Amino acid sequence: MKDLGPLHSFLGISVTRNSQGLFLSQKSYAETIIERAGLTGCNPVATPVDTAGKLSSKKGRPYANPTKYRQLVGALQYLTFTRPDIFYVVQQVCLHMHDPKEVHMNALKRIIRYLQGSLSLGLNITRSASTNLISYTDADWGGCADTRRSTSGYCVFYGDNLIS
């Protein structure tokens, strides 16, 4: 085994040390996704999701190139490691990988346009005196436009204890 010194990059994730801790970024990977989608130089949007409506698997015309859709969605899934801001919306487009429609591809393009305007974002890992892991999640009652079922649950963990 050999000591390679301080960590700078790992599996395509750039690691920068600062006084608070570490900053993890996948900027170059995000730029590759934008290029692969053919949206280099596109106008960015302020949010990754259009809040006007839910995506349905039954409405819309089938997308002409489902393989391209699946490749881009898969690439975005890897990007969520350092970009929790896109996790929910990427999960939403993942639900339609089996039969993507044009509206799903439009939602995917919106995520990519959001990335264009937020390339400098990443994940800050800061030092903490606490050794407890705190996790939150929320319910999306009736979130699926097709079945009207919840697409997530609700629970809070604090350390080893389930609070709700």
Contact at 8 Å (CB) between 69 and 105?
A: yes
Say if residue 135's pLDDT is above 90.
Answer: no
Contact at 8 Å (CB) between 100 and 64?
A: no
Give the model's pLDDT for residue 37. Answer: 95
Give the model's pLDDT for residue 124. Answer: 92
Separation between Cα atoms, residue 16 and residue 24, nearest integer Å: 7
Domain ranges for the chain: 28-120, 132-164
Separation between Cα atoms, residue 100 and residue 106, nearest integer Å: 10
63-107 pLDDT per residue, tens? 999 999 999 999 999 999 999 999 989 998 998 999 999 999 999
Mean pLDDT of 117-136: 84
DSSP lists the bridge partners of residue 134 as: 158
Give the model's pLDDT for residue 140. Answer: 61
Which band of pLDDT confidence, cut at 50, 70 and 90, is reported for residue 10?
confident
Q: 84 in the Ramachandran plot: left (φ > 0), alpha (ψ -120 to 50) or beta?
A: alpha
Q: Please state the pTM of the whole predicted model.
A: 0.77
